[in-house]
Structure formats: structure tokens, C-alpha cells
A = this chain, B = another copy of it.
Amino acid sequence: MQKLRVESFTISVDGFGAGPQQSLENPLGIGGTNLHKWFVPTKTFENNVMGKEEGTTGIDNDFAKRGFNNIGAWILGRNMFSPMRGNWSDENWKGWWGDNPPYHVPVFVLTNYPRKSLEMDGGTIFHFVTDGIHSALKKAFESANGKDVRIGGGVNIIQQYLKEKLIDEMHIAISPILLGAGENLFSGINIIDLGYYCAENISTENATHLIIRK
């Protein structure tokens, strides 16, 4: 069975998956970059995202690595793809990642504003889905060649799929930082009533890792 997975999604101690005021300068909002101090030094990040050979191994890297295993497609909220809001007035914007994004599979971007698909180097193709989360999931499963689908975020998209009980597994990392404001992952969500439980947990000096399953 194909699974819908959230992987390496990181929140602050006060619950925020990104800081406030996302912009071109602060793709993760103010202070948001600090969320990923557990992830950025890992071999997985260095290899898959930066194209380098270096990087740390160990528990943090194990979690980072499993997030890329058996993924055939991604789903992203529009703000994960772009700091712009509203119409795609600047079609030159092709994501935060340059010509060769770290996905290498189809990526379905949820948006209210239609845009033509965008084929990038290295196998990534961005499709813009305007007819909702169920449609995006159907398309993602179909294009994933039997593999799983990973939701990249943000909080709003994860919450939409959670409320429909469509997520099979979530790896959540808690970074020991405070953001003060932003989008709170568990706000308005009763994760227990939705049928989820904490299946695994382990802490490193950089983060607390949880596996949440149905």
C-alpha cells in the first residue's frame, strides 16, 4: 500500500512550523531557519540538497535519510514553493532551489491560482493543483509509481490532510527553540481523537524525534 507521509517536519517548543513574516529573505519566516539546525549538518542534507559528500551521521541523519526513502512524489503548500501571494505575476519564479531542486520526482503544489507545469533539471516537475487536497493526493499517488507520497508542508497543508485522516505516518522533530509566533502545527487539532499515537520517540542533543502513526 502506498503511504502518505510527513517527514522531517520540524516545530519549535512553542509549536510553530515556521516563524512569522515569510519573505524572500526569510523563506521560513523570522527565526525559522533555526528550526533546522538538527537537519542541515546531516549527510542526507549535504548529499541530497547541497550535492556535497560531507555531513554528519547518527540518529539525526537516520531520520533525515528515512524521509527520502521510497518517495515517488511530493505535495507542497504554495508558500513552501514561493514567497509570492495571489496570482503568479512573476512566472520566472521557479522555487527556492535553483535549476535542479532536491526532489527529482513530481511535486504537486497546492494553490488557488493556476499555472503551467514547470519541468526542472534532475527529474523534478512542479504541477500546480487548484482543485484541492484530495485531487492533489490522487494525482501524487498516480504519478509516484507505487512509491509513497511525502508532504513537505507547511502547517496549513499538513493540518488539512490530518483532519481528513489521510496521513499514514508523520516524523515530527521538535527543535529546542522558541519562535513566539507563526503557524502552530497542533492548534485546533486533536491528534488523539483523529486516531493517531506516538509510535517511537528518541532525543538527540539537537532535536526530539517522534514517529506518529494511525
Chain A residues engaging chain B, CB cutoff 8 angstroms: 13-15, 31, 172, 174, 176-181, 184-187, 189-193, 196-198, 201-205, 207-208, 210, 212
Given A174-B208, A176-B208, list of 13 further CB < 8 A pairs?
A13-B172, A13-B174, A13-B210, A15-B15, A174-B174, A176-B203, A177-B201, A178-B212, A179-B192, A181-B190, A184-B187, A187-B187, A203-B203
Residues of B within 8 A of A212 (CB): 178
- Distance between Cα atoms of A179 and B174 in the complex (Å): 16
- Distance between Cα atoms of A18 and B187 in the complex (Å): 16
**CB of A158 to closest CB in B, whole Å:** 13
* 4 smallest beta-carbon distances between A and B, as pairs: A180-B192, A176-B201, A203-B203, A14-B186
5 sample A-B contacts, Cβ–Cβ < 8 Å, listed by A number = A178-B210, A180-B191, A180-B193, A181-B192, A181-B193
- Distance between Cα atoms of A179 and B189 in the complex (Å): 11
Q: Is the CB of B13 within 8 A of A208?
A: yes
**CB of A104 to closest CB in B, whole Å:** 31
- Distance between Cα atoms of A90 and B179 in the complex (Å): 44
What is the chain B residue whose CB lies nearest that of A207?
Answer: B203
- Distance between Cα atoms of A14 and B198 in the complex (Å): 11
What is the chain B residue whose CB lies nearest that of A14?
Answer: B186
Residues of B within 8 A of A191 (CB): 14, 178, 180
